[in-house]
């Protein structure tokens, strides 16, 4: 008997996925564990392994189309099975879902990712994100295109088939850029964090002389240079060991103090941020942390990070120093209750203890804290400890 193949949640935060490529074609036999297709989630690209067996009778979502978790993307059943009525049922379900979403959109004055509202009417046009992107880039109006996808949804092929495809965008005209799934999830998660967590900020300037000197000494004995971020992660881990109350999470009815220090580093992939996580940083040395971090960053650039490699950080670091940014504040990355914003190291004239003018490599760091978990005094103590560790790394050994 025919069954639906539905989009499943391939990551903890996934709500929608884009089908990048089908590994199976209609008529192929499928066994449990076969890779059906490659899906772009809110964070990375992952393989969708089947837990069903049978013959792939119909592909409902072609490559480039997106689907909400739970949406049908194909039909599996017995070879030669008549699925005409089954497809009609699926189409009706999809139309009902679209209608329900339309009503919700009108109530909230918002729109779903896979629809475009015409500026002169209230009519909703169903289109895949890729189709909408191509239409915007080529100056094609979706209102004149008939969709061939499920429930009349406009696909990439529909846009490319229209005669309007040759029309170019005109310079100076407003351009609406469709939201990619990554950008949409980032917007949602950070908005929730900013509005739900009462943020406040404390800033300190740190003399980086000894950290830079220590890095120079470490790199003398290693072929692959150890990055500054590895030193930052290790020193933050030691400060968290001294102040475990900061390594915690708000859970509505209780505060969870994490037993492991798992630090995430915000990394830009070009189309959105992701936070690879180095686990159990207290028990690891700087060289080991650097090696793991570089592997994770490489995988992030290739969109091959696994969910357990980018989720569940107990504390996060965001470093914009390489971009020349001297000071900024960052939004907390749940489930952690704090994030440390690192600025550029700037050689700055200042007075030493004898009131002599000296030039030091100074770096500003700002801690964003959730006031429900971390009081101001605790944040100050944590930052003071971190400053002491960075200005005299021997503290790491104490």
pLDDT tens, residue by residue, 295-308? 999 998 888 888 88
So which residues are the catalytic ones?
371
Structure-block tokens of residue 121: 């009417």
Task: Please state, as a whole number, how many other Cβ atoms lie within 10 Å of the Cβ of residue 6.
Answer: 15
Q: Nearest-CA neighbor of 266 among 278, 256, 255, 249?
A: 278
Q: Which of 20-24, 50-54, 105-109 has the lowest mean pLDDT?
A: 105-109
Sign of the four-CA dihedral 387, 298, 36, 34? negative
Task: Please state, as a whole number, how many other Cβ atoms lie within 10 Å of the Cβ of residue 47.
Answer: 12
- For 234, half-sphere exposure in the C-beta direction (CA atoms, 13 angstrom radius) is 27
Which single residue is written with the structure tokens 């509202």?
117
Bigger pLDDT: 14 vs 296 = 296
- Distance, CA of 53 to chain centre: 32
Note the pLDDT of residue 124.
60
Note the pLDDT of residue 102.
59
pLDDT tens, residue by residue, 139-194? 777 877 888 876 677 877 788 777 555 444 555 677 777 766 667 777 777 888 88
Which single residue is written with the structure tokens 């170019």?
168
Note the pLDDT of residue 396.
67
CA separation for the pair 326, 367 (Å, rounded): 14
Tell me if 340 sits within 8 A of 383, measured CB to CB.
no
| Start-to-end Cα distance in the chain | 67
In the chain, the largest separation of any two C-alpha atoms, in whole Å, equals: 90
Bigger pLDDT: 195 vs 212 = 212
Bigger pLDDT: 138 vs 344 = 344
- For 320, half-sphere exposure in the C-beta direction (CA atoms, 13 angstrom radius) is 13
Angle between helix axes 228-242 and 286-301 (nearest 10 degrees) is 120
Residues 6+ apart with CB under 8 A from 259: none
* Beta bridge partners of residue 256, listed in sequence order: 249
User: Does pLDDT of 395 surpass 80?
Assistant: no
Q: Nearest-CA neighbor of 344 among 247, 228, 233?
A: 228
Q: What is the DSSP secondary structure assignment for residue 342, as one 8-state letter?
A: E
- Distance, CA of 364 to chain centre: 26
CA distances 80 to 55, 110, 130, 202, Å, are 9, 43, 32, 67
pLDDT tens, residue by residue, 353-387? 889 999 999 999 999 999 999 999 999 999 999 99
Q: Nearest-CA neighbor of 150 among 130, 127, 124?
A: 127
Give mean pLDDT, residues 57-68. Answer: 88
pTM: 0.64
Q: What is the DSSP secondary structure assignment for residue 363, as one 8-state letter?
A: E
Give mean pLDDT, residues 238-267. Answer: 95
The percentage of residues in the chain with a pLDDT greater than 70, rounded to a whole number, is 86
Bigger pLDDT: 120 vs 49 = 49
> What residue ranges define each of the domains in the chain, with the CATH number in brackets?
3-103 (2.40.50.100), 114-178 (4.10.320.10), 197-397 (3.30.559.10)
Note the pLDDT of residue 113.
46
* pLDDT, the chain, mean: 85
Secondary structure E strands in 139-235:
199-207
Convert 273-285 to b/e letters by CB count within 10 Å (16 or more is b): bbbbbbbebeebe
CA separation for the pair 12, 122 (Å, rounded): 35
């Amino acid at each position: 008997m025919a069954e639906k193949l539905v989009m499943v949640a391939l990551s903890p935060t996934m709500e929608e996925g884009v089908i990048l490529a089908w590994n199976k074609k209609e008529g192929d036999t499928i066994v449990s564990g076969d890779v059906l297709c490659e899906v772009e989630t809110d964070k990375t690209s992952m393989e969708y392994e089947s837990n069903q067996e049978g013959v792939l009778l119909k592909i409902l979502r072609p490559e480039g189309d997106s689907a909400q978790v739970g949406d049908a993307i194909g039909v599996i059943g017995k070879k030669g099975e008549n699925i005409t009525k089954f497809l009609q049922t699926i189409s009706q379900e999809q139309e009902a879902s679209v209608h329900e979403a339309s009503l919700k959109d009108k109530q909230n004055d918002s729109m779903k990712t896979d629809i475009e509202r015409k500026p002169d009417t209230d009519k909703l046009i169903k289109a895949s994100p890729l189709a909408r992107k191509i239409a915007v880039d080529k100056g094609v109006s979706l209102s004149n295109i008939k969709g061939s996808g499920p429930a009349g949804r406009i696909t990439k092929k529909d846009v490319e088939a229209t005669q309007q495809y040759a029309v170019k965008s005109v310079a100076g005209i407003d351009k609406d850029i469709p939201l990619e799934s990554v950008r949409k999830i980032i917007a949602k998660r950070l908005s929730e964090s900013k509005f739900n967590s009462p943020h406040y900020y404390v800033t300190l300037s740190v003399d980086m002389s000894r950290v830079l000197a220590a890095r120079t000494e470490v790199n003398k004995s290693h072929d692959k240079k150890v990055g500054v971020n590895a030193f930052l992660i290790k020193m933050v881990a030691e400060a968290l060991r001294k102040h475990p109350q900061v390594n915690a999470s708000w859970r509505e009815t209780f505060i969870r103090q994490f037993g492991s220090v798992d630090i995430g580093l915000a990394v830009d992939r070009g189309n959105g941020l992701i936070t690879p996580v180095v686990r159990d940083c207290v028990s690891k040395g700087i060289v080991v942390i650097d090696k793991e971090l570089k592997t994770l960053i490489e995988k992030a650039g290739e969109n091959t990070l696994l969910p357990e490699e980018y989720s569940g950080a107990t504390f996060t670091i965001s470093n914009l120093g390489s971009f020349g940014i001297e000071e900024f504040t960052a939004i907390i990355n749940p489930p952690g209750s704090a994030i440390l914003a690192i600025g550029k190291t700037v050689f700055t004239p200042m007075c030493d203890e004898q009131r002599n003018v000296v030039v030091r490599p100074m770096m500003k760091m700002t801690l964003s804290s959730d006031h429900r978990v971390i009081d101001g005094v605790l944040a100050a103590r944590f930052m003071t400890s971190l400053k002491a560790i960075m200005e005299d790394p021997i503290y790491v050994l104490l």
